[in-house]
Amino acid sequence: MFLPEADRYSTSKRQLESRIATLFGGRIAEELVFGADAVTTGASNDIERATELARNMVHALGSFRSLRSADLQ
């Protein structure tokens, strides 16, 4: 039996990595369209959310074992 997206309580590492990639998509699109010198601050919230998600993956989930938690502080 498959659950609807809203009923999921767990998320796979692949899904989390996909969310991070999606969050960076807007920033990358701006750079491609407008050039590196004309990127706006519009994607700053997306980058903050991606950073928070990546930190949570490292701290809470232990996803990236090659990094020590001291390296992230």
Please determine, for residue 69, whether its predicted confidence score (pLDDT) is greater than 50. no
Please determine, for residue 52, whether its predicted confidence score (pLDDT) is greater than 90. yes
Q: What are phi and psi of 10, to 5 degrees?
A: -125, 155
Under the banding of pLDDT at 50, 70 and 90, the label for residue 72 is very low
Please determine, for residue 64, whether its predicted confidence score (pLDDT) is greater than 60. no
Residue among 11, 4, 22, 17 nearest 64 (CA): 17
Residue among 60, 57, 64, 62 nearest 16 (CA): 57
Q: What is the number of other CB atoms lying within 10 angstroms of the CB of residue 54? A: 19
Greatest CA separation found in the chain? Answer: 50
pTM of the predicted protein model: 0.64
